[in-house]
Structure 1
Amino acid sequence: MRIAAVQHDIVWEDRDANFERLAPQVARAVGAGAELVLLTETFSTGFSMTPGIGEPEGGPSARFLADRAAEHGVWMGGTCPEIADDGDLPYNSFVLAGPDGSTHRYRKLHPFTHAGEHERFRAGEKPVTVAIGDLRITPFICYDLRFADVFWQAALETDVYLVPANWPSPRRHHWRTLLEARAIENQAYVVGCNRVGTAGDGTEHSGDSRIVSPLGELLATAAGTETLVIADVDPAEVQATRDRLRFLPDRRA
C-alpha cells in the first residue's frame, strides 16, 4: 500500500477554512498514487482546548474524511475532537474512513497533561488495529508516542503504526528519535504526520513528518513546509524482518 502523510498548516479553530485548504492537498496525494492519506492531529481545529470545541461523533471533520475517501476511493485518517453520547468532554479521536463507507475510531489513550489536555479531553481505553487487505494498521496520537508499552502491546498484530501529531518544535528531536525507536523495537513501519506553522496559542511546529521502515530506515522525510511524505509499505517486509531477526519472541512481560 502507498501511504501519504500530508504535512500541513492549520487555521486555528476554523473547520471550513481547513477543509477548503486540505481538499486539494488530499487530491495531490491521491494523484501521487496514495491509497491511504493521513492528516495531522486535530487537522480541522488545531490543538485547541477551548470549551465547546468538540463536535458530535460523525460530525463535520469525520464527514470530511469520509467524503474524501468516497470521492477518491482511498482510505483517509486524521484526528478531531469528538463527543460521544455518554459524556460532555470530547475524545481526541482518530477517525479512519474507508472508500466503502466504513469508519473506525481510536481514542487517544494519553492526554497531554503538560498542556492541560487531561482537563479538556477524555482518555481512550485501548489500542485499535484495523485490517485493510493484508495490511494491519494501528493508529496512535502524538503524546502516545512516548509510551512504548502500548506500541508493544499491539506489535504482534501490527504492520504499520500511524502517528498524527501537533508536536512542538522545541522537542522536535524527541519526535524524530521516538518515531525511529518505535519502528526499530517493534519491527514495523511507522508513519509520523506532524503539522507545520504557528498555532493560535503561539506554539511553533516544524513538521519533520517521516515514514520509517521496520529496520528503522527513513523511507521519506520532510522539513518545515507544507508537503507530502509518501512511501510504499508492505506487510511481507514486516514478516521478513521479524523472521530474519527474531527479537519479538524474546520479550518478557
Structure 2
Amino acid sequence: MENLTVTIIQENLIWENSEANLNLFSEKINLLKEKTDLIILPEMFTTGFSMNAEVLAEEEQGKTLAWLQKTATEQEAAITGSVIIKEEGNYYNRLFFVFPNGDYKVYNKKHLFTLAKEQNTYSAGSKRLVVEYKGWKICPLVCYDLRFPVWARNTVDFDLLLYVANWPKKRVEAWNTLLKARAIENMCYLAGVNRVGFDGTNHEYSGHSVVYDMLGKQLSTLKNDIIFSETLHLNKSHLLETRKRFAFLDDRDSFTLT
C-alpha cells in the first residue's frame, strides 16, 4: 500500500507581484532536499490575498498554470495552490491540483470571506473536489472553507484533507483549533498551509502551517512567523488500521447538501 510524501511551503508572499512570487517558489522548490509526491503552496500564492482581481487575474490557461505544470513535470510531483482566475467575466479564487504529467483539476473556493468583502469581487464555487492520486483520495479546500465543517465532512472516505490559506495572525487560534478538529472528526490526515509576513493592506500572517494525523496528532514541526518548508511521510496502512480500530466514520450522519 503506497504511502504519500507531502511538502508544505510557508512563505512571505510578495504583494501583487506574480512574477516575483513564481521565481521565489521556483527557488524554494529547487532547493528541496527530499523527493516528494505533493507540494502544497498557500492561497493566492502569486499575489497575496488581494481584491484587485481586475488587474491581477489570469485566464485559466495562463502563465501560472504553465508554471505549475512545468514544476510538476520537473519535480515528478503533484503541486497545488490557489490563484486569481478570470472566466466568462467572473473572477474566482481557484485552486489548481496539477499532476506530475501536467493534467490538472480545479476547485473554486466555496466560502468567500465576507469580513474582507471577498464576495464583492469573486464568484463562489459550488462543487467540492476529491482528487485520486497515488492510491489516495485528497480533498483540497481554501482558507475560509475551514470554518464550515459540513462542507469538509468526509462522506466519501477521503484520506487527506488540505487547506491552503492566507489566515491572519489575529485569528490564528481559530486556525489552530479548527484544523485539528477537521482532522479528528473526518478521521483523515490533514495539511494546512498558511503564509507569513505582512500583505499590502498591512495584515499580518503568522504561518502555523501544520500536518495532523487522523487522531489529531501533530506530525509536522510547528514553525511560526518564519519562512520554511517541511517534507513529511503519510502512512496509508496506519490510516486504514486506525479507522478499523476506531470506526467512528461508521456512525457519521447522512445528509445532502443543497
Q: What's the TM-score, normalizing by structure 2? A: 0.93
More deviation in 197-206 or 235-244? 235-244
From 69, 73, 81, give the equivalent of 1:78.
81
How much does 1:251 deviate?
A: 1.8
1:216 & 1:155 partners in 2: Cα distance?
Answer: 19
Secondary structure in 1 aligned to 2:167? coil
From 69, 86, 92, give the equivalent of 2:72.
69
Q: Does 1:15 align with 2:14?
A: no
**Correspondence for 2:39:** 37
Secondary structure in 2 aligned to 1:81? strand
- Residue identity (%): 33
How much does 1:28 deviate?
A: 2.6
Segments of 4+ in structure 1 off by > 4 A?
none
8 Å Cα contact 1:139-1:162 kept in structure 2: yes
**Correspondence for 1:198:** 198
Residue correspondence of structure 1 range 24-173 to structure 2 within 5 A: 24-29=27-32, 31-52=33-54, 53-84=56-87, 87-152=88-153, 154-173=154-173
| 1:1-59 deviation line (CA, Å, top 9, x unaligned) | 11011000111110111111110111233x22222111000000110001412110121
The RMSD of aligned alpha carbons is 1.2
Question: Residues 190 and 145 from structure 1, CA distance in 2 versus in 1: closer, same or farther, beyond 3 angstroms?
Answer: same
Q: What's the TM-score, normalizing by structure 1? A: 0.95
The total of aligned residue pairs comes to 249
| 1:136-170 deviation line (CA, Å, top 9, x unaligned) | 11100000000000111x44331001111000000
**Correspondence for 2:188:** 188
| 1:213-245 deviation line (CA, Å, top 9, x unaligned) | 011000002211110132111232222121111
8 Å Cα contact 2:53-2:91 kept in structure 1: no
2:63 & 2:22 partners in 1: Cα distance?
Answer: 9
8 Å Cα contact 1:211-1:230 kept in structure 2: no
Question: Residues 98 and 187 from structure 1, CA distance in 2 versus in 1: closer, same or farther, beyond 3 angstroms?
Answer: same
8 Å Cα contact 2:10-2:41 kept in structure 1: yes
Where does the alignment leave 5 or more consecutive residues of structure 2 unmatched? none
2:204 & 2:16 partners in 1: Cα distance?
Answer: 16
2:236 & 2:156 partners in 1: Cα distance?
Answer: 12
